[in-house]
Structure 1
């Protein structure tokens, strides 16, 4: 049997890793759907209705599955982390409740209009429904990240003892709900979602464009996929550089507020200056996979880069080493390698974006088979980068569930046994694997079926013939 603390952490990690795929898809698709709806209404061109209807299917399925898996996550706070919920429920539960009452209800209410109401409501109301759905999706992230950012950098609270147990009370809502971390997390997460969906759209579109233009297969709706590829590239050209630039500012903030996390990200064990930023790090022995020490790894780095990042421009700045944190240091290997992977993917996305932009500029976007293969191979890497980023965020603050206030081991449900934790862990792995497999199957089937053909798009019914028209009832033809 697995220790209840470890089993609870693994269970929450697995459910989160699966769940986050669906909010990323819905949040990332929201701006695209608003744009497609606006263009459809304004121009009346069939291509934009095809784009709206096709990607709305994927959005709706992601929303439904994300809702189901998100509810389960909230239940886990009670089943596996009851001590944490009891102590921090007043502060942590508030944002989650508001998310359900405000953001989820807004999104769910207007989603019905957006999915089924195109023929039943006017253009203005239909466009409002698209904006409301997107706004609800992004508001959900606001409240979820308010709760999480408070756990990273807690503010606006006091700890009191009630019935012999420490309880956290909210004393300053503005300080608690809008911590220094919130802005960094929100911008980084939302931009990552749009970037991930842009990569997914580009990868799927590249497959069909490659089949048609490079392999020479006759592909239905090739114009649809060409337009999709171009729109995805525009989004990627905006979001990929922004993610790296903002990540630089975010990393500096982490160094200021969670120095132990930053030290783990850079594998700095002893306090030192002129710490290099290793863009590529390769272990020279198997031991270094589980015990990485940056200065002992073989890598390509920028001298003083990590010090420059931590200080905001001083390559000689000192970085506090992990050895000074003693028992408060996070699992270094997981954080270090996850951070390397996330950063590496970030630069790869920039390369892809400018590669595609250059080929578009030279008029060879649809003929560059190597670019198409790169986009296809990268279609899911945005989701992978999001996962790696959350691993850095969550594992990097261990052993704390609330930074500096409550350790994860103290937040686990006190009555949870090893047998119960192990059985539910196994059960969740099986159920979530099946759920993810079903989701992938449905999305793959939607993509395989392709967009609706022009003949299946909505059309204005033929007007009845006028009484004077040739062939109208009761009117004889002259000839």
Structure 2
């Protein structure tokens, strides 16, 4: 590819694959917990509504989980193919952390996933609920280890460099590095929000088309309660994360703010919009709020924040991308908070399910959580540059020695294969969403256990769930 070096192509390839991958784990984390809540409510209340919603979202979860596993395997291989120098240098830290993720989370999820997907009519309701809980917990444990590994690359602790390789000397310091708690909470909460708006948009889509039933209403209600309660908490977590980043990665903060010069010595304004220019070392066409940058990041009206000119040019992140990706993330977060508040006002008026302007907005907000996650990861990872292990190893030192032709060919193949394979998966998942939940409407449906119909559930099928019940009725008539 003209004008790009192997390093550039390796970075583009990794960014492409990880961006595709993160969509699926984010929804998997949220849906797994959502399914656990639905099944728990069904067991507690006995209302068929929750069971119907469980079966509906279980099929979507299964498709999403499968695509997440497949896309995640590619990420692991890329450490060896495109970033072999990094793997040799830091593999003694990242390797065990990823292995712990497999041993504690992936095995847990895989072990109970079969019961969760196919055991509804084969095991009792208590055991099935336990399996759902284990899968939900497994997704959170997986998040724990992945974020521990990635956070260590941002704020490395607990290691020594011996003979040109990193050697861990304190695993607690490695795992619970300074940025890890904030990044773990930020990512987990983002996954719940992304799922809430995915579920809420699905309900809004059906209501706008006249498919108004108790299951659809319950989906919307639960999603909007999540948005109302969690979106403000996410903004608070983000504030703490920003303060942590200011302490350990000040160049990233300067790039996010588009702030270049502290020679005046005064407080730093908040630049709402502008065009950072790396060549001229300034941000053009700025729209600013005086003092607010210092107030947010320093909690002071006089103390300035770091400026990009405080760092050598070779140590500065690429501000234009970081500047705008951060604003996209924050902007979407503010809209999520507004949607949560709007839903609360409509709920008080009894118009939550009938306000077409609100439903139209919510429908378009369906991908907002995923977009915010992608923007946040771009801010985090591009803002870490030019380091792959911050302050320890540069990205340019970590790449494998491949040629431009090799990297170009594999990048093109990745793009083509991903859009075909995962494009089909996404289309099918959206097809399941359009089908909507099927209400049992008082029909007796097996809840599993000895003596019950032992036909396994089919999570990847879009067929009507009532088929199983009709088959049971036919068997009873023959007998």
Relative to the length of structure 2, the TM-score reads: 0.89
By how many angstroms is 1:48 displaced? 0.4
Q: 2:419 matched to which residue of 1? A: 433
Greater relative contact order (CA < 8 Å, ≥ 6 in sequence): 2
The answer for unaligned runs of 5 or more in structure 1 is: 213-218, 464-479
**Number of equivalences:** 444
Q: 1:394 matched to which residue of 2? A: 381
Q: How does 1:25-40 map to 2 (within 5 A)?
A: 25-40=27-42
By how many angstroms is 1:30 displaced? 1.9
> Which has the larger Rg?
1
Q: How does 1:399-418 map to 2 (within 5 A)?
A: 399-414=386-401, 416-418=402-404
The Cα offsets for residues 143-194 of structure 1, whole Å up to 9 and x where unpaired, read as 0000000000000111111xxxx11101111111110110000000000000
CA contact (8 A) 2:93 2:166 kept: yes
The Cα offsets for residues 46-94 of structure 1, whole Å up to 9 and x where unpaired, read as 1101111111111111111111110110000000000000010001111
Q: 1:59 aligns with which of 56, 61, 80?
A: 61
By how many angstroms is 1:435 displaced? 2.4
Distance 1:52 1:210 in 2: 22
Q: 1:191 aligns with which of 189, 192, 198?
A: 189
CA contact (8 A) 1:266 1:336 kept: yes
Q: 2:456 matched to which residue of 1? A: none
Distance 1:113 1:131 in 2: 11
By how many angstroms is 1:310 displaced? 2.2
The Cα offsets for residues 311-348 of structure 1, whole Å up to 9 and x where unpaired, read as 2x112212221112111000010000111111111111
Secondary structure, aligned partner of 1:458: coil
The Cα offsets for residues 358-393 of structure 1, whole Å up to 9 and x where unpaired, read as 101111112211101110111101100000000000
CA contact (8 A) 1:22 1:63 kept: yes
By how many angstroms is 1:290 displaced? 9.0
Whether 2:108 is the aligned partner of 1:115: answer no
By how many angstroms is 1:297 displaced? 2.8
CA contact (8 A) 1:292 1:332 kept: no
The answer for unaligned runs of 5 or more in structure 2 is: 454-479
Q: Which stretch shows the higher mean deviation, 61-70 or 387-396?
A: 61-70
Q: 2:409 aligns with which of 420, 423, 447?
A: 423
Q: 1:83 aligns with which of 64, 68, 85?
A: 85
Distance 2:367 2:436 in 1: 19
CA contact (8 A) 2:100 2:145 kept: yes
Q: 1:297 aligns with which of 267, 278, 285?
A: 285
Distance 1:205 1:288 in 2: 43
Cα 1:273–1:143 shift into 2, 3 Å: farther
Secondary structure, aligned partner of 2:99: helix
Q: 1:175 matched to which residue of 2? A: 173
Q: 1:237 matched to which residue of 2? A: 228
Q: 2:323 matched to which residue of 1? A: 336
The Cα offsets for residues 422-472 of structure 1, whole Å up to 9 and x where unpaired, read as 111111111111123112211111012221331677247999xxxxxxxxx
Quote the RMSD (CA, aligned, Å): 1.9
Distance 2:197 2:452 in 1: 41
Q: 1:210 matched to which residue of 2? A: 208
By how many angstroms is 1:211 displaced? 2.1
Distance 2:8 2:63 in 1: 32
Relative to the length of structure 1, the TM-score reads: 0.89
Distance 2:407 2:8 in 1: 9
